[in-house]
Structure 1
Amino acid sequence: MISSELTSENGHLMIGGVDSVELASKYQTPLVVYDVEEIRKQIQLFKNSFEDSGLKYQVSYASKAFATIAMYQVLKQENVHTDVVSGGELYTALKAGFPADKISFHGNNKSQQELEMAVDNNIGVIILDNFYEIDLLEQVLEDKDSTVNVMLRLTPGISAHTHKYDQTGQVDSKFGFDVGSGQASKALKKVLANKRMNLIGIHAHIGSQIFGIEGFVMLVKKMFEISANWKKEFDYLPQVINLGGGFGITYNDQDEAIGPDIFIKNIAETVKQQSSDKDMPIPEIWIEPGRSIVGPAGFSLYTIGSRKDVPGLTSYVNVDGGMGDNIRPALYQAKYEAVVANKMDEALKEDVHISGKYCESGDILIDHQKLPETKSGDILAVLDAGAYGYSMASNYNRNPRPAVVFAENGKDKLVVERESYDDLIKLDRDYI
């Protein structure tokens, strides 16, 4: 939702103190714009909530939500950790000058090359996902005569109430070592027997876009239960319990997001209670917010073009982007809200479909959106679009990916250039 302070005197949407209509003119559309101050505020909310709890902690930004050199530089300024899920994300973080010892590496099928990159750069921790990866890392460490910190990713049998593709903690998942079948204990023994791997803790992630605290409370209890059993059976206690991410945000009036302070307060209370009940020392608690840090800070700006009106049916208002720069509505049935950036002070007069330019009937960014009366050339701004839009963008239909701009304190800076048509064909090779 847009507050009144984000509207200028001339009725334009303001982002980071910059007129969004001027940004659209300066950089063209489609354009992704981030209010950097909002990113910083959200990071500090998580950190302050942990500070209030008295727990040792790490806030580790989930790179997959949005990963660019500029984003990693902001994270470095805010003194947080980050997790990566590919060699490409790792490479980008290192190129940004992000501290390697504050990087954790996720993924269910890391390649030998990716593991070698991680070991060569002395990253903070590799989160092991399966037995194949244990063996592969073991060989990499042997070849390089090196050591590394690791965690075990567990599937604890807890699923969040989200879209089925966003659920990752249940037993039937491609991620992690299953606890109930004994896989996790077998993995523990295997890692503890390897002197080149320093097992600092355990990790689990129960899903994404989570609106309730119950799943995290259950996860804390389960992780302490596992830890207590492993202490008794294997004399091992984790120094770190990583609870993953998945903290939901408000995309529309159907969403009821919980603030970081509420999430962390309940997590901390449960951690302390479990520590007391099980007579265990309190471990360091890690979380991995991604969407909740960048989602509300991001705006997708489009120029309205054609329109289709059929009597008795909802009109289609077409924009110059769509599923190529935001696949989530088509993939997850994700719901967004939008405003006309150059008509913020005008009354809502019509209900329309916001559709993209891609050659797919499913290229609908917003199924029903109330807007002022629109015309070709108006600037549409999709709100809370900072997570998984640009990071999942594609060149479908041979469309270039959009530029990205950071706005803060009334200043704007291009941080990702718009792709050109030459960029689209730079890897192509002649056949004849």
Structure 2
Amino acid sequence: MAQANPADDPNEIDPRVFPPAARRGTECHQLKLGGIRATELVEQYGSPLYVIDESAARARAREVREALQSEAERIGTSATVYYAGKAFLCVEVAQWMVSEGLAIDVASGGELAVALAAGVDPAIIGYHGNNKSAREIARAVEVGVGTIVIDSEIETERVAAAATRAGRRQRVRLRVNSGVHASTHDFLATSHEDQKFGQPLADAERLVAAIVAHESLDFVGLHCHIGSQIFATDGFRESARRLLGAYSKLAEITGGPIAELNLGGGFGIAYTSSEADAVPEIASIARELADIIADTAAEIGIGIPKLACEPGRAIIGQAGVTLYTVGTIKPVQLAGSNASADPADLGFAERLYVSVDGGMSDNARPALYGADYQVRIANRESDAAPALVRVVGKHCEAGDIVVRRDVLPGDVRPGDTLAVAATGAYCWSLSSNYNYLPRPPVVAVADGTSRVIVRGETEDELVAKSVIPAPAAN
């Protein structure tokens, strides 16, 4: 069997991928999260298990907010950082974000309900969605949601009517598509023309005129989200240039300068060590974004608007780890009698299929987007020769893959605890009950303590959802 890439230490806990404070114990060599052994967490809460490092999430929220706000101040404006709840939202996480100075972005009535249950001031909530129901809009207006993002022409009338009934003047943004394509998976690129979100930038003048015609609506600016998992600022630069280019004409329609510009989110994180080198520091991103806005505004001859952005993955993604228990191991020979022809397989002639007790029901991203993840044995270290592995779930789907390709010690065996890194975003929030697997709990860890922040489900609870017909009368 060929040797692994020397850069791939199958025991290493990379702090650029795992939570920064995650480490192996000096004596037990077990992975510790928030100061607690992974095996202790599994013993107490079961497996699979979502684990969120509270300190890592809070620190990252502060880092992102401080970087963006300080750079905005440098160019003479201010910035609001919304935490994108769709990445992962529960009552306690919403409270963490607000306590760290962030606003909250929601995209459904359910997410709004969670934010309100967390005690979030509705004035710092932004409400997204391409198909908000009349009921959802009415509730958002009635509770005092700070800003509603209008995603279609129909929504202008719906929000205006709800605001009129509530006797409020509702702040709104208009979501537009700048035509800038993020370098990412097609389903993650959200600012090209042929997709469900937003309106063409070319229609902005007509749509803004329709908004300002309603006394119950207060138009505060444009919103554009160019995609997700973005590492470079080139797309933001071009998108900002196009959006600000429309502000002079929009100011003529509204009768004054446009107050805000929301560039969305989409900042990427490292899911694997090989990807980590490509991820820029948030301070660099913030500095480049501020310069982009300032330079473009100067070129066009307009004032610099207030800025807003909506990171989610960039805040919570790295803070999360999913723990699994290994069930079966199956060696499979790769195509041909020699090593795999795929360079990404590192020349191995054999792949170990490592089956775990979860799968696509707790992490749908590999199946949806072909996403890559990094995996490590959490309950021990090993000096066994490295093996090429594919971590798979227990669902009745060939595409039920958790980690498509990584290297683990070749003695990985049933009963081992595996840790998959960077699962804080879009794992629990995309989870399902496929094959009637209960959703795992979410546990927060910090300073050697742990607690459940989202309860897991049981098989009994899933069965109880079925309506059992009454016995037929004789």
Assess same fold via TM > 0.5: yes
Q: Which residue in 1 is equivalent to 2:343?
A: none
Q: Distance in 1 between matches of 2:61 and 2:332?
A: 46
CA deviations over 1:164-217 (Å, ceiling 9, x no partner): 00011112221112113xx22111001101010111111000000001110111
Answer with 139-148 or 356-365: which moved more. 139-148
Answer with 255-264 or 352-361: which moved more. 255-264
**Residues 353 and 369 of structure 1 are in contact (CA less than 8 Å); yes or no, is this contact kept in structure 2?**
yes
Cα distance, 1:406 vs. partner? 0.5
**Residues 308 and 317 of structure 1 are in contact (CA less than 8 Å); yes or no, is this contact kept in structure 2?**
yes
Cα distance, 1:153 vs. partner? 0.6
Q: Which residue in 2 is equivalent to 1:357?
A: 394
Q: Which residue in 1 is equivalent to 2:418?
A: 380
**Residues 49 and 441 of structure 2 are in contact (CA less than 8 Å); yes or no, is this contact kept in structure 1?**
yes
Cα distance, 1:2 vs. partner? 2.1
Superposition map of 1:82-93 within 5 A? 82-93=104-115
**Residues 318 and 354 of structure 1 are in contact (CA less than 8 Å); yes or no, is this contact kept in structure 2?**
yes
C-alpha spacing 1:348/1:230, structure 2 compared with 1 (3 Å): farther
Q: Which residue in 2 is equivalent to 1:6?
A: 23
- Of 310, 313, 326, 1:291 maps to 313
**Residues 205 and 249 of structure 2 are in contact (CA less than 8 Å); yes or no, is this contact kept in structure 1?**
no
Q: Which amino acid aligns with 1:196?
A: S
Secondary structure at the counterpart of residue 86 of structure 2: helix
TM-score, scaled relative to structure 1: 0.96
Q: Distance in 1 between matches of 2:399 and 2:371?
A: 12
Q: Distance in 2 between matches of 1:310 and 1:287?
A: 46
Answer with 297-306 or 71-80: which moved more. 71-80
C-alpha spacing 1:111/1:189, structure 2 compared with 1 (3 Å): same
Q: Which residue in 1 is equivalent to 2:35?
A: 17
- Of 443, 447, 452, 1:409 maps to 447
Cα distance, 1:311 vs. partner? 5.2
Answer with 74-83 or 106-115: which moved more. 74-83
Superposition map of 1:17-416 within 5 A? 17-53=35-71, 54=73, 55-180=77-202, 183-232=203-252, 235-255=255-275, 256-310=278-332, 313-344=350-381, 346=383, 349-372=386-409, 373-416=411-454
Secondary structure at the counterpart of residue 204 of structure 2: helix
**Residues 13 and 344 of structure 1 are in contact (CA less than 8 Å); yes or no, is this contact kept in structure 2?**
no
Q: Distance in 2 between matches of 1:7 and 1:331?
A: 32
Secondary structure at the counterpart of residue 133 of structure 1: helix
Answer with 396-405 or 419-428: which moved more. 419-428
Q: Distance in 1 between matches of 2:386 and 2:176?
A: 51
Q: Distance in 2 between matches of 1:146 and 1:234?
A: 19
C-alpha spacing 1:348/1:89, structure 2 compared with 1 (3 Å): farther
Q: Distance in 2 between matches of 1:146 and 1:187?
A: 21
Cα distance, 1:310 vs. partner? 4.1
Cα distance, 1:232 vs. partner? 4.3
Q: Distance in 2 between matches of 1:173 and 1:5?
A: 39
Cα root mean square deviation, aligned: 1.6
Secondary structure at the counterpart of residue 314 of structure 2: helix
Cα distance, 1:115 vs. partner? 0.6
Secondary structure at the counterpart of residue 326 of structure 2: strand
C-alpha spacing 1:346/1:75, structure 2 compared with 1 (3 Å): farther
Cα distance, 1:411 vs. partner? 1.3
Unmatched 5+ stretches in structure 1: none
Q: Distance in 2 between matches of 1:155 and 1:146?
A: 28
C-alpha spacing 1:103/1:134, structure 2 compared with 1 (3 Å): same
Please say which structure displays the higher CA radius of gyration. Answer: 2
Cα distance, 1:145 vs. partner? 2.8
Secondary structure at the counterpart of residue 130 of structure 2: coil
Cα distance, 1:353 vs. partner? 1.4
How many matched pairs?
Answer: 430
Q: Which amino acid aligns with 2:62?
A: Q
**Residues 351 and 387 of structure 2 are in contact (CA less than 8 Å); yes or no, is this contact kept in structure 1?**
no
Q: Which amino acid aligns with 2:401?
A: I
**Residues 248 and 257 of structure 1 are in contact (CA less than 8 Å); yes or no, is this contact kept in structure 2?**
yes
Q: Which amino acid aligns with 2:98?
A: K
Runs of 4+, deviation exceeding 6 Å = none
Q: Distance in 2 between matches of 1:98 and 1:52?
A: 24
Answer with 241-250 or 342-351: which moved more. 342-351
Cα distance, 1:259 vs. partner? 1.8
CA deviations over 1:361-407 (Å, ceiling 9, x no partner): 11011122211221111100001111100000000001100010001
Secondary structure at the counterpart of residue 374 of structure 1: coil
C-alpha spacing 1:5/1:123, structure 2 compared with 1 (3 Å): closer
Unmatched 5+ stretches in structure 2: 1-12, 16-20, 335-349
